[in-house]
Chain A
């Protein structure tokens, strides 16, 4: 069995020797450098621009402004293109924009012989603005009389939708009736999450050149095939005349599930005669001008019966979209859907979701796609309900959890397998829940301890909300090994390793005999939409399995031709064997040599398959956290923390564990320290750098514990389900609920920073 083994990463050797090449490592030197002029207002218009002094600076090749770019707008999110116009992504930006929608918007660009010259040229450009007050919150943006950011959306509301699940026969007419029924416990709460950034260590970087009349962009992206399409759309050129190369990337976490600066880089290249141009973002630009996780505010209600069952819930979510649509309404829509799914409502559920344009840096996809936000709201609510109505928070969750076989009434996603209850049991035992809940009751004094938990569910891929498809190609080498070619991408998560294991498993050869082509070149890589939605082990896994089995059949057919003997054949290890006796008949190296060079029947054995995935499934898990809080200082120390996951069968347990560590770490930053902050007067991002934005260091971490409950999901190619994003989801709420346990103070806004805690402790009478 190759699947299920903790084989070392296939890229580890190259990465520890510094030999793994990332986008900028491949760039020829010297190279023309592009730099972008960012607006010094958050809201308004560029009235005019004087570029004469910049253009005259020696070493400057070209200065281009928002007055020079193509007039049409294009979309940027990493979604599969929809052939139905109504479902296409929002096209709301140009390559450079006259209408300024965020502080630091892209309004001009310089191409120069070196970076310093380009930077100096930017400083010589004179800009005249028409300035409006910055609108940083949805309330400000929706106020009467404000100027719309995009003329297509006069009230600054990108989209609002309301949904209710069908109700069983009863006297109640709608969710509102159940929620206000006096016979049930009635709960309402308000929770808010903050804007955070991915902080992948490699900033987005790309370089572009024209060759053979076509444009090539080498870029740090999660989604090469989508970048190809969007570069074509943005430049108004046929998609086939664009070639994207994606080498190793230094993390993405969803930020690079967006077409960021590849279109501008490509266009600038075409404006300087097709010469190679590099566009290398600074860390500050990464914060200000690329994506982030949406701040979302939630108003929730619940009705709970006397036995502690959820009768109905309502979730109203308002998402702050910043200046550009990016993924549009999809993320808050996913948030309210995720809020609905983890627990079952016996009677009714109402969702209302808003996406509102404002002038903050535009959020987009980030690990969890709305679910970390809704999980904070949902799991705070579960603890608050338990406290208010005297329920046990563990039991209350346990008895309301999504049952096996659950079918979401609105999108049809089905619970094909669940280890949710086992996850809860395992986490409870690991953290010693019952003892700690007892021991930490009724503490006094300035330093107190508490233990909290949170549960999540997460779908796998995007079907049926969007297309799910993947293709894989297996190619025989002369020595009997194979190459695996995919459009799916390695972004640090270990994709290449588990893809190799899957191919090996399907074919029947050792993993080390699968040579994966890590770099995607859209000219040769089979089509796949890329790394997002924790989809690749599931969706791409199906394609790999299909191509692997097809390849195996072709190898066996050729073996039968060579061997001319009766009986079933099989591939084991590096041999074709008699299936019944296991007797070795022909090595794969011998077979390959024959197939490549036979004077009688020469054939290059390859297999290619597309798997369109029309299925989805839920993974589950939970976090248990034990904390100590120093009340006068407002500081939380996490003493012990564990995540328990049901991601179906693990393809590589060691890598799965590492993936959980990383997610927990991101969850801890979300819980305790990370937040993008703005100057309300100017709309300028105040902490867009790695010093002032408090990314957790090794010193800020406790030991991270990752446990698993393995289920065998019938819809997964190898029994597996989503794993990449889920670990980041439940941590913040678990820490917050531990704080509630320790102090009795409910802090409903993230992050749980010292300032916020002191304020809350004062209000709660602890200080």
Chain B
């Protein structure tokens, strides 16, 4: 059984046949080749498959693709600007040495895009809470928090200028 999914992925309109039982993670990885969407548990425990659906971070492994009908989906592949410049959060991830094995990285970056884009300030503890749905075994979250914190501050400084 095949259904047609129409949505926007990383700014481009997409129309494709999907199995109504399949997860958005599988659609993005298996059908669209967006392999930044990582699978670490497939039951919404680890956060590695996080993408934004209409600007909200979700675990794409427990989100049915049919729910994405007419929605806007953003993955890490869609973050670089037209000149190839990294987004602020990607840049601070590099500069703060927040990347190690890199497997949790795309998912956390997508949550951070939501955090940074909120236009709010956060305490360190609030940031800890906001990224606590992402498991990372390499970093102890220390440099990841530094990267998110810095991206939030930098975007705040430049917004409205």
Interface, chain A (partner B; CB < 8 A)? 6, 8-9, 11-22, 24-25, 29, 198-203, 248-251, 253, 282-283, 491-494, 654-655, 657-659, 661-662, 664-666, 668, 689-691, 695, 697-699, 701, 703-704
Contacts and interface: CB of A to CB of B under 8 A. Distances in A.
B101 A689 contact: no
A701 B77 CA distance: 30
B25 to A, nearest CB: 12
B45 interface: yes
A283 B42 contact: yes
Interface stretch (B64-72, B114-122, B141-149, B153-161): B141-149
A704 B137 contact: no
A689 B43 contact: yes
B150 interface: no
Interface of B: 30, 34-38, 40-43, 45-46, 48, 75-77, 79-80, 86, 90, 93-95, 97, 99-106, 109, 127-129, 131-145
Contacts of B129: 698-699
A725 to B, nearest CB: 13
- Residue with the highest number of chain A CB atoms closer than 10 Å, among B37, B41, B134: B41
B100 A695 contact: no
A697 B101 CA distance: 17
B135 A283 contact: no
Contacts of A15: 99, 102, 105
B142 A661 contact: yes
A13 B106 contact: no
Given A658-B143, A664-B140, 15 more contacts: A15-B105, A16-B106, A17-B80, A18-B37, A200-B101, A201-B48, A250-B38, A283-B40, A662-B100, A662-B138, A662-B140, A665-B139, A690-B45, A698-B134, A698-B141
14 contacts: A9-B94, A16-B94, A18-B35, A198-B137, A201-B101, A201-B104, A282-B42, A492-B103, A661-B143, A662-B138, A689-B43, A690-B40, A690-B46, A698-B145
A20 B35 CA distance: 9
Given A25-B35, A201-B38, A699-B129, A658 B139 contact: yes
A17 B90 contact: yes
* Interface SS majority for chain A: loop
Nearest to B105: A15
B112 to A, nearest CB: 11
Contact of B137 (A9, A16, A253, A698): A253
A492 B101 contact: yes
Nearest to A494: B100
A478 to B, nearest CB: 25
A728 to B, nearest CB: 10
A661 B132 contact: no
Contacts of A655: 97
Contacts of A251: 100-101, 103, 137-138
A704 B80 CA distance: 31
